[in-house]
Structure 1
Amino acid sequence: MALLSLVALASGGCWDRTEVNDLAIVNGVALDRAGPDSLELTIALAVPARITPPSSPGGGGAQLPPTTTRATQGRTVPDALSYMQEKLSRRLFWAHNAVILIGEDLAREGVSPVIEFFSRQREARLRTVIGVVPGRAKDVLAVVTPLQPITPTAIRDIQSFRTSVMTTVLDFAAALSAEGQEPIAARVQVVHSGAAEPGMLEAPQDGGNAGPMIQKDPPQPAVTGAALFKGDRLVGFLDDVETRGVLWLRNELQRATITVTLGDPRRRVSFYLVRAESTLTPRFHGDRVVMQVKVFTEGDLSENAAGVDASDPAVIRLLQQEVAESVAERIRRASEKVQKGFRTDVFGFGEAVRRADPRRWEELKHRWEQVFPEVELDLDIQAFIRRTGASDKPLGVKERGLLDAGDLREMLEGK
């Protein structure tokens, strides 16, 4: 009996084991409206055989993309996925999905079914990022990026730098369920920079000398602003500058460069943000709601093309005031567009009211849609320049040509 038991143990295995070669690994998903009662599902699948390390032998030639796309249609996401699975010899595997892209038409109809599915899907991660595409989402998924050939991963990595909106499935689901805050997501597009890059030598023509062959910068996906929702329906988009103002108000901006022009467009300084904190504190004056916005930011002087003497503390104070005013202007621009234009509380003003005064929120929440556009902002922006770089003096400007605090003040007054 003991011998039989040993044989049984030795011959046993994991009965539900799944081999990697049996999986179709999903890297990205795009969803578009296909018809009145149907949607189109496009998925990017990893092709492991095409993923070649740069140092591997034979890796210098032209290679096929490391992902391939497949598309199908259905009435719902699960319906489309069932049709997709019928066409694949491997089981769809969702744990490595990096991004969910939603086309504009589908987003304007409502994304709750999409969020519902990916919130419940057993293998899907709640940290998967969401993007909204003006036009068709499948067009973005089909692009092959030069630096990161796996497009869904490239889109996720761009958002992870936190210079733009980064919304995950969990974030979106939480905003849908929360009182006093509406969902927001990244706007993702294919951009054509049109910039030319030097390449190999072009073959001579008509007996002439060989010249440089100019290669056009290939199209690539980019985060170009934000998509605003009211409930689960898309209501509009913001550009990059407006989105930056939203991020200040949401206390989500982690990296940024602020360039300030000092009168003459050729005289500018750049401020690289290394730390930022924002707080929202509601104040009530009768029926008026005033949102006190405090922003604290500090960073480094990364460019001094204005010819100012950065070793002068008075000059630094004036530059700090200009940086603070630039931040305030971005916040005002974003609030005007969002409050008066789209009338959707992606800032979380309602949530700030609820935290500060739950009883007052109970009175306001039923008419918050009318109150929100009239909320006034009281801005208190503090900016500090901590470091001026390796040199206080701008290159190419002699000592007598430097602008002191008096020169700078006069220049700013004439703006």
Structure 2
Amino acid sequence: MARNLGLIVLCLTLLTGCWDHQEIQQRGYILGVAIDKAHPLPKGQEPEKSYMSERDLEVMPTHRKNPEYSFTIELPVIALAKSQPTGSTGGGGEGAASWELTIRGNSFMEVNREFSTRLDYPPFYEHLQAIVISEDVARQGISRVLDLFLRDHEMRRRTKIFIAPGEAKKILDVKPRISDYPAIYLAALPFNADRTSRLLHKTDLGEVSQSLHTKTDFVLPRVIASKDEVKDAGSAVFKGDKMVGWLGEIDTAYMKIIRDSALGGVIVVDMPGNPEAIVTLEIRKINTKVRPIITEHDIKMRIETEVTFNQAEKTEAHFRKSLDEAYLKALERKAENLMEAQMKDTVKYVQDEFGADVFHFNVIMQRYAPDTWDQVKDRWHEIFTQIETEVHVKAKVEQIGTMK
């Protein structure tokens, strides 16, 4: 009897509710964060600490000096969402399905606590989807503005990070036609990386943290916005924690190929025997190996890429030679020549324009030539700009599509 009573007491202890339990409807779920430079207030409004603009931008008294940043958070307004949960009685309405609040300050922790003066529930970040940083902030360094996101227990390491050429808040202002929430819409775009290599997909908070701690140069995706859509293509180049420039869409695609992180995409070449027509080749499988070639006087990088294509589309009507072996060999040579030239051009451009080792040649050196790396690591950024590359591409067209 005593044993049973003890078992009952133990079960009651284990089955009690969580000590920090909180109802789901009593949390302010934050889906997106935008970080901009704090621009001066309109002329004549500078002294007004309670100034509120038409964009709901609040100027709060800061603990030290003038506010440096504008922080915007996006919260869902479930009752106004297009897609209602099963059994929901809310919905419709003419308001926005998300709510953006902006406060100017010098640190996100300071501003985050001030959001509680405008929200009846505390901000909750475990469902944070995207962080958007403006170019102005990125060029000054992102370590300062990401510090809390990197150390706070609520922040997920898989949160996506994006860089906007203009104001980051404009990205969260977008009202997507096929989604309720801009941050969720934005965070889903990198999942299209198997269709195009023009966008980056390994760009989350964890990746950035690793790059910053290992002092490895890196890239982050560029996003631009219109009224009802966002385009995620191209990339921002970082040397250390500071942005040094933009990499275009084509260069971004070939940079990913060199880093062996491309998941798919297409290339377009002239049709063999008919330069007026073009052939679009779809990447089905691609693999790249980079190895250092060490000589007495210099360091080279040998880049070897093997790629398998589908012939996805051609512009010459009634083409009869798709199964011809000579035609397929010529098509493969054209693909190889194009990719080799583009890859070499991308490396040279990054070397001359930015001097940032976004190809991670330094990691290759540490792995395959550690003795040489120990001798050159202190001068690597200087050496990187002088490295020559040998690029070899082996292409194979395996599928030519259905013919009638």
- Which category describes the TM-score, using the shorter chain as reference length? 0.7 to 0.9
CA distance in 2 between counterparts of 1:77 and 1:55 reads 32
Contact kept, 8 Å, 2:222 with 2:236, in 1: the verdict is yes
- What's the CA shift for 1:65? 3.3
Deviation string, structure 1 residues 123-182 (Cα, Å, up to 9, x no partner): 111011111111110011110111223211222211122231121111111111225x31
In structure 1, the residue matched to 2:134 is: 103
- What's the CA shift for 1:88? 1.1
CA distance in 2 between counterparts of 1:143 and 1:357 reads 48
In structure 2, the residue matched to 1:17 is: 21
Larger displacement relative to structure 2 (121-130 or 52-61):
52-61
In structure 1, the residue matched to 2:105 is: 74
> Is 2:255 the partner of 1:279?
no
**Residues 21 and 334 (structure 1 numbering): CA distance in 2 closer, same or farther, change over 3 Å?**
same
> Is 2:75 the partner of 1:45?
yes
CA distance in 2 between counterparts of 1:340 and 1:13 reads 61
In structure 1, the residue matched to 2:49 is: none
Partner letter of residue 21 of structure 1?
Answer: Q
Unaligned runs of 5+ in 1: 192-217, 394-415
Deviation string, structure 1 residues 282-322 (Cα, Å, up to 9, x no partner): 10122311100011111211102144611101111111111
Matches within 5 A, 1:211-360: 219-262=228-271, 266-306=276-316, 307=319, 309-360=321-372
Partner letter of residue 117 of structure 2?
Answer: E
Matches within 5 A, 1:374-385: 374-385=386-397
> Is 2:208 the partner of 1:176?
no
Identity between Structure 1 and Structure 2 (%): 25
Deviation string, structure 1 residues 91-141 (Cα, Å, up to 9, x no partner): 111111111100011111110123322121111110111111111100111
User: Which of 221, 239, 247 is the matching residue for 1:186?
Assistant: 221
Unaligned runs of 5+ in 2: 40-65
CA distance in 2 between counterparts of 1:277 and 1:109 reads 36
Matches within 5 A, 1:70-219: 70-162=101-193, 163=197, 164-166=199-201, 167-178=203-214, 181-191=216-226, 219=228
Partner letter of residue 33 of structure 1?
Answer: K
SS of the counterpart of 2:29?
strand
Contact kept, 8 Å, 1:26 with 1:96, in 2: the verdict is yes
**Residues 83 and 42 (structure 1 numbering): CA distance in 2 closer, same or farther, change over 3 Å?**
same
- What's the CA shift for 1:329? 2.8
Aligned pair count reads: 363
TM-score by length of 1: 0.81
CA distance in 1 between counterparts of 2:91 and 2:120 reads 31
In structure 2, the residue matched to 1:373 is: 385
**Residues 381 and 137 (structure 1 numbering): CA distance in 2 closer, same or farther, change over 3 Å?**
same
Contact kept, 8 Å, 1:115 with 1:173, in 2: the verdict is no
- What's the CA shift for 1:53? 2.9
> Is 2:28 the partner of 1:28?
no
Contact kept, 8 Å, 1:291 with 1:377, in 2: the verdict is yes
CA distance in 2 between counterparts of 1:221 and 1:276 reads 28
- What's the CA shift for 1:266? 4.3
Larger displacement relative to structure 2 (269-278 or 56-65):
56-65
Contact kept, 8 Å, 1:245 with 1:332, in 2: the verdict is no
SS of the counterpart of 2:31?
strand
CA distance in 2 between counterparts of 1:160 and 1:153 reads 12
- What's the CA shift for 1:75? 0.8
CA distance in 1 between counterparts of 2:150 and 2:138 reads 17
Partner letter of residue 333 of structure 1?
Answer: D
CA distance in 2 between counterparts of 1:135 and 1:308 reads 50
SS of the counterpart of 1:374?
coil
**Residues 377 and 12 (structure 1 numbering): CA distance in 2 closer, same or farther, change over 3 Å?**
closer
**Residues 86 and 265 (structure 1 numbering): CA distance in 2 closer, same or farther, change over 3 Å?**
farther
Partner letter of residue 120 of structure 1?
Answer: R
CA distance in 2 between counterparts of 1:301 and 1:367 reads 45
